[in-house]
Amino acid sequence: MRTIEVNLDKDPYKVLYSDLQQGIQTIQPESINGRKIAIISDDHAANNNLDVLRKALSRYDIKIIEIILSPGEKNKELMVAENIIDKLLSKKFERGDLIIGLGGGVIGDLSGFVAGIIHRGVKFINIPTTLLAQVDSSIGGKAGVNSKYGKNLIGCFKQPELVICDINSLSTLPKRDLLAGYTELIKHALIGDAELFSYLQNNVKNIFNDHTILQEVIHRSALVKANIVMEDTHEKNIRAQLNLGHTYGHAIESFYKYDGRLLHGEAISIGIIMAFKTSLRLGLCQADHLHIVEDHFNKIGLLTDLKSLNGKKILPEKIIDLMRSDKKVTNETINLVLPREIGRVEIRNDVNENIIQDVVHETLHL
């Protein structure tokens, strides 16, 4: 069992890389016996993992409440969170009880948000079942829901008691979902681990076929994020580096209103390439850096632009308007995380909007 210790001054916790049964067995009986356990999941994660979780929890003296949602970003809404809270309160869910999130990033964000606000905070365990959630969203304590004005605009910080990452849960994921998660994995390499990026380049054909390689890169990627979170828990400074590709990506994702045409990770992969193109225009990185990253994205199958996306026509001015509504905006200034080289980025709030417009137009092939 591999472990990452997220040693925060307040609310430290462990991220366990183990099978689900083994991870659950690390919970001390006296901490949950006699309590209610609310499991929040979606159809896909529940169909593939809920029986294993039930069996793992059967050794404890607990009462289980199950809330199973349909999958997708559409459930990451305040109304859904309110409905969950109403159901829990109707079951006499108390402050000493526990919420378990079983699923991908949407379930983790939603269940963490509910855990953070019901009774002003209850215990929370996150069991991420997607690659994106295992390397990124399950670590750091950010929880929340979307607003009609943008992504993740309503939320709180809610650190989990424990995170359990079972690589076996990834075997049921469609290739598209694996690639969406890979975007966040490689993002961490581009932010702070050039050696990991080289390792990914050298193993590009085997990443999803070799369990040992996949386990190694998940752990190393998650470690980059954990180290940043430990240094800046509430995103006062360097944690903002984790938003590489997200200002562009969130705007594109919001434009499509989370209709499933574009997954979060797909929007972020496009956003990362846009960040490199912005850096190149500003003279912050070299053309070789962009070409190396773009080449790797193409080899593994990540999106690098929007020309392959059919349907709703993107309006450049709308993308830029959505960027201005991003939660990372300060004093009405768009903040961007821009690469200096592979493994090093910087945060800029002084990028001329004409440059941003040029990058958007290039990405849309206008």
**Residues with catalytic annotation?**
120, 142, 184, 225, 235, 239, 243, 246, 250, 264
**What tokens were used for 15?**
């991220």
SS3 per residue for the chain: CEEEEECCCCCCEEEEECCHHHHHCCCCHHHHCCCEEEEEEEHHHHHHHHHHHHHHHCCCCCEEEEEEECCCHHHCEHHHHHHHHHHHHHCCCCCCCEEEEEECHHHHHHHHHHHHHHHHCCEEEEEECCHHHHHHHCCCCEEEEEECCEEEEEEEECCCCEEEECHHHHHHCCHHHHHHHHHHHHHHHHHHCHHHHHHHHHCCCCCCCCHHHHHHHHHHHHHHHHHHHHHCCCCCCHHHHHHCCHHHHHHHHHHCCCCCCCCHHHHHHHHHHHHHHHHHHHCCCCHHHHHHHHHHHHHHCCCCCCCCCCCCCCCHHHHHHHHHCCCCCECCECCEEEEEECCEEEEECCCCHHHHHHHHHHHHCC
Q: Is 144 left (phi over 0), alpha (psi -120 to 50) or beta?
A: left
